Structures are given as C-alpha cells and as structure tokens.
C-alpha cells in the first residue's frame, strides 16, 4: 500500500524513482560489494576464485530483496542483511563477502553511485529549462511590458529581459551543480573509524582498484562515514534550485491574474480548473512547483543538523537521510520537468501588456523624465521633486503625465516638445535591453556548453 505520493508515481519520472527504490538501492549496494571483491582479488588480499564468485553473484539477480528483509527483521541492521544474503548465495566463498569493510564503506559509496546517475537526469532537466528560457528570451526581447516593484508599475521592461534573468539564474544553479559534484560523487573504503586498519598495508592499493572499478575518486579522509557536509551541500543546492523555479512559477502565477493576464499556463482541452466554477483556468503546475519548493526548503534543516555527529559517527543521520536525499532529488526533478512543460506551453498576451502599460497614464516613465531634466541642467534632486509633484497632480486630475509635463513651464523651459514625447516612448528607453539579454544568454550558453563537455 503506497503512502508517499512519489510511490504512487505522482511525482518524479520512472527512471529516477527506480534509482532510489528499494530494489534500486539493493542493486547499487551489491554493485559496490562486487567492486570490493574484485579489488581485493586483484590486490591478492582474497583468493581470486573467491573474488570472482562474489563479484559474479553480486552482479546477478540471485540476491532477493525479500530475503534481505527477512534477515534485517532478525539482525536489525540493513547492510548486514545485504551481506548475509549475498554470502548465502556465494556458497563456500561467502566468507569473503564484505572483507575488510565497514557498513558505510558500502552505503556511502552506493549513495555516490546513485546520486551520480540521478543527477545526470536532473542535469538534463535543468539544461532543458535553460534552453527553453533562452529561446523565449530571444523571441520576446522586444515584447514590451510593465516592470513592477512592490507589486506596482515601475519602469518598462521586456518579456525577453525577464526570461533572460531567469535563464541566467538557472545557469548559475547548473554551474553550482558542476562544482558540488566534485565534492559529492566520491567513494569511501576506509573502515570502521576511517583509519584503513582492517586492510593494513594493502589498504591504498585496494582502495585505488576499488575506485577505478566504480569510476569514483576517494574521499580525502573520512571518519566511519563520509562527512555529511557533502550531502548537506546537495540538499541545500536542491532547495536553492527549487526556489529559483519557485521564483519563476510565482511570477507566472502573478502575471496570470485576471486583471493582469500577460502570460498564462497552457490549458488542455479536457482540463478542469474547478469542480464548482466551470470557467476557471488555474495555474496548477506553477502552484505545484511553489508547493514542492516548500518541501525542499524543509529538508535543509535536517541536512545541516546531520553534519555534527558524535565523535567518529553516530546513527542520527541515517533515518533522516532516507527521506531527505532521495526525496530532494526526486522532487526537484519533478519540478524541473513541470517547469519545462509550463514554459513550453506558455500563453503570452502582448496586447494585454500594451494595455497595462497605459494603466498608469505615463507614470511608468517618471524615472526617464527625471533623468531627462537632470541631463538638461536641473539638479537630480530638484528634478525628482518636480516629477513627484507633477505625478501627484496627474493622479489628482486624472491626466496623463505627459500632458501635465507639457503644461508645466519648468519642464518646457528645459525640454522641447519632441524630447518630452521621446520620454514617453517605451522603445526609446529600452535600447540597452538587447545587449543585456545577449550578455545573459551568452553566459547561460557557455554554462550549458561546459556541462556538455564535462558530461
């Protein structure tokens, strides 16, 4: 009986859920045990025939999850259960299973393999979102809309500018991922307290072979466990990237308000917005993204608290990690998949943007008018006071700011009519936007290219 919505298939792709499933985790643990046996055999620590038998058995499907669970119910130790189940299947060679290792040599190295595979999927999803944002930025670089601060009209921007801001932000998230993988995707084979005592003089030779087999680098030094700052960095990154997606989703939700309606989520032919109000077309995907971002941020506290373990380790990290690590990655993948769909199906309404630009009756150009007066010789502070005065007058008299400005001799003595007209032409004020968008997209593209190169 499924309880978690991830188990029902509601969130996360089948591919990424399989990695973190019980069966998937067992496969990764057995893969690590197989690599350990092979490395031990090649180093001459255990007989080669025993190493080959253990490796072959671990990589087969002979070790069953049901048997592992039976043993765990008795031993109350999940990794011992895997070791015993594998040893049973190895017959006379079973005594060489897990030779010289401690539980977290296997568990933490398996985490590295799981995360390496899972983050490839996440990385692809993130790159896809960046690419869609770049396309939208280029397409709408000149689609003028109101800029807003504090929920009010500020100065004009373009929709392409907005998308370029988001593309650059997600590119930074991708860049952070490349950096953290260097610290996260590492293996461990250092024994009970990290001193490699169990493998003696062969320790570094075995470790080297073990890591080469798995395609990993060893942690520089560990206690009984890989230090948990590495996993905390991952979970914090998931929360940060999820919050970047939340930011985009929140903006789309706001711009989809009935009274604004400058962009909107796609709405499928058979989709229902409300069980009570047939007309509703709700931004449910963006709301899902914002809701899941809250869950991701919630995992950051246990991730940080897992760093200060007692002495060389205790077990307080284990239970929370079973939730925090897989769920952070799976939820983020779901959010990225959803955001890619939202951006791909986004409905855009330039006519409403043009309409909304006029709502403030020219107030949206107050900064430009202030700077035009300052460039004309008036002090900037005096210009600011004058434009504020005229803005209040325009509001009181329900007039366009341009009309009030034209009538005021303090303005006309500095700015001729044609210059005042130019102040209120949005296109004239956005001449730097294409270069800003190009700069942002160049950065995003270079980040994508570096990611492909490193893949």
The domain spans of the chain are: 1-99, 102-140+147-196+214-265+279-358, 363-423
Question: What pLDDT does residue 336 have?
Answer: 98
Whole-angstrom distance, CA of residue 53 vs CA of residue 34: 9
Comparing C-alpha atoms, which of 53, 59, 35 is closest to residue 213? 35
SS3 state at 315: coil
Give 267-280 as a DSSP string: --TT--S-SS-TT-
CATH number for region 363-423: 1.10.40.30
Whole-angstrom distance, CA of residue 70 vs CA of residue 81: 8
Task: Judge if 102-140+147-196+214-265+279-358 and 363-423 fold alike in CATH terms.
Answer: no
Question: What pLDDT does residue 455 have?
Answer: 67
Beta-sheet strands, E only, within 79-218: 144-149, 152-158, 186-187, 217-218
Mean pLDDT across the chain = 96
Question: What six digits make up the tokens of 114?
Answer: 């799981």
Q: Terminus-to-terminus CA distance in the chain, angstroms? A: 38
CB 104 within 8 A of CB 225: yes
Question: What pLDDT does residue 276 have?
Answer: 83
Question: What six digits make up the tokens of 136?
Answer: 């939208």
Threshold 0.75, pTM exceeds:
yes
CB 64 within 8 A of CB 85: yes
271 pLDDT above the threshold of 90: no
Percent of the chain with pLDDT over 90: 93
Question: What pLDDT does residue 236 have?
Answer: 98
Using H for helix, E for strand and C for coil, what is the string for 86-110? HHHHCHHHHHHCCCCCCHHHHHHHH
**Averaged pLDDT for residues 60-69:** 97
**Averaged pLDDT for residues 248-270:** 94
Question: What six digits make up the tokens of 438?
Answer: 């190009």
Whole-angstrom distance, CA of residue 67 vs CA of residue 247: 46
Whole-angstrom distance, CA of residue 439 vs CA of residue 447: 13
In Å, the largest CA–CA distance within the chain is 102
Whole-angstrom distance, CA of residue 111 vs CA of residue 326: 10
Question: What pLDDT does residue 1 have?
Answer: 78
Q: Taking the CB of residue 359, how many other CB atoms lie within 10 A of it?
A: 12
387: left (phi over 0), alpha (psi -120 to 50) or beta: alpha
Whole-angstrom distance, CA of residue 123 vs CA of residue 361: 45
174 pLDDT above the threshold of 70: yes
pLDDT tier, 404 (very low <50, low <70, confident <90, very high otherwise): very high
Q: What residues are annotated to the active site?
A: 150, 274
Whole-angstrom distance, CA of residue 211 vs CA of residue 223: 18
Whole-angstrom distance, CA of residue 368 vs CA of residue 183: 48
452 pLDDT above the threshold of 90: no
| pLDDT tens column, 78-132 | 999 999 999 999 999 999 999 999 999 999 999 999 999 999 999 999 999 999 9
CB 214 within 8 A of CB 32: yes
Question: What six digits make up the tokens of 104?
Answer: 């977290």
Name 158's bridge partners.
Answer: 144
pLDDT tier, 268 (very low <50, low <70, confident <90, very high otherwise): confident
Give the helix/strand (H/E) hosting 3.
none
Whole-angstrom distance, CA of residue 421 vs CA of residue 408: 14
| pLDDT tens column, 292-316 | 999 999 999 999 999 999 999 999 9
pLDDT tier, 317 (very low <50, low <70, confident <90, very high otherwise): very high
pLDDT tier, 339 (very low <50, low <70, confident <90, very high otherwise): very high
Question: What pLDDT does residue 230 have?
Answer: 98
275: left (phi over 0), alpha (psi -120 to 50) or beta: alpha
240 pLDDT above the threshold of 80: yes
**From 2.60.20.30, 2.70.40.10, 1.20.200.10, 1.20.1250.20, which CATH number describes the 102-140+147-196+214-265+279-358 domain?**
1.20.200.10
Question: What six digits make up the tokens of 368?
Answer: 């430009």
Comparing C-alpha atoms, which of 447, 440, 449, 445 is closest to residue 141? 440
The CATH class of the 1-99 domain is: mainly alpha
Q: For residue 48, what are the CA distances in angstroms to 38, 105, 190, 204, 207? A: 8, 21, 22, 19, 17
Beta-sheet strands, E only, within 150-222: 152-158, 186-187, 217-218
Beta-sheet strands, E only, within 135-260: 144-149, 152-158, 186-187, 217-218
269 pLDDT above the threshold of 90: no
Q: Which residue has the higher pLDDT, 7 or 71?
A: 71
């Amino acid at each position: 009986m499924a309880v978690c919505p991830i188990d029902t298939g509601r969130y996360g792709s089948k591919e990424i859920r399989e990695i973190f499933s019980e069966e998937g985790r067992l496969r990764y643990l057995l893969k690590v045990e197989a690599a350990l046996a092979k490395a031990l055999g090649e180093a001459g620590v255990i007989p080669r025939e025993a190493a080959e038998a253990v490796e072959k058995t671990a990589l087969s499907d002979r070790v069953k999850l049901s048997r592992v669970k039976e043993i765990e119910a008795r031993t109350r130790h999940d990794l011992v259960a895997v070791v015993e189940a594998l040893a049973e299947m190895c017959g006379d060679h079973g005594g060489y299973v897990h030779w010289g290792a401690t539980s977290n040599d296997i568990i933490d190295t398996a985490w590295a393999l799981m995360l390496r595979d899972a983050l490839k999927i996440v990385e692809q999803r993130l790159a896809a979102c960046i690419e869609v944002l770049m396309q939208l930025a280029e397409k709408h670089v000149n689609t003028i809309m109101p800029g807003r601060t504090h929920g009010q009209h500020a100065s004009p921007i373009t929709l392409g500018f907005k998308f370029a801001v988001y593309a650059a932000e997600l590119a930074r998230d991708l860049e952070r991922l490349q950096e953290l993988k260097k610290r996260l995707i590492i293996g461990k084979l250092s024994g009970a307290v990290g001193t490699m005592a169990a493998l003696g003089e062969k320790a570094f030779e075995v470790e080297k072979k073990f890591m080469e087999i798995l395609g990993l680098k060893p942690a520089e030094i560990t206690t009984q466990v890989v230090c948990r700052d590495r996993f905390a960095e991952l979970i914090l990154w998931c929360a940060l990237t999820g919050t970047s997606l939340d930011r985009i989703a929140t903006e789309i939700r706001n711009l989809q308000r009935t009274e604004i309606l400058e962009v909107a989520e796609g709405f499928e032919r058979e989709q229902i917005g409300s069980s009570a109000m047939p007309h509703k077309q709700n931004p449910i995907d963006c709301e899902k993204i914002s809701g899941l971002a809250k869950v991701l941020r919630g995992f950051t506290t246990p991730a940080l608290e897992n760093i200060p373990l007692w002495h060389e380790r205790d077990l307080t990290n284990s239970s929370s990690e079973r939730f925090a690590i897989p769920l952070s990655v799976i939820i983020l993948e779901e959010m990225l998949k959803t955001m890619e769909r939202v951006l791909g199906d986004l409905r855009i309404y330039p006519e409403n943007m043009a309409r909304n630009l006029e709502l403030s009756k020219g107030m949206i150009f107050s900064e430009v008018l202030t700077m035009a007066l300052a460039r004309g010789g008036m002090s900037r502070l005096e210009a600011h006071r004058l434009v504020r005065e005229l803005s209040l007058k325009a509001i009181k008299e329900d007039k366009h700011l341009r009309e009030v400005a034209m009538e005021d001799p303090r303005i006309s003595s500095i700015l001729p009519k044609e210059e005042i007209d130019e102040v209120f032409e949005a296109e004239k004020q956005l001449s730097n936007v294409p270069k800003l968008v190009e700069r942002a997209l160049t950065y995003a593209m270079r980040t994508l290219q570096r990611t492909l190169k490193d893949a």
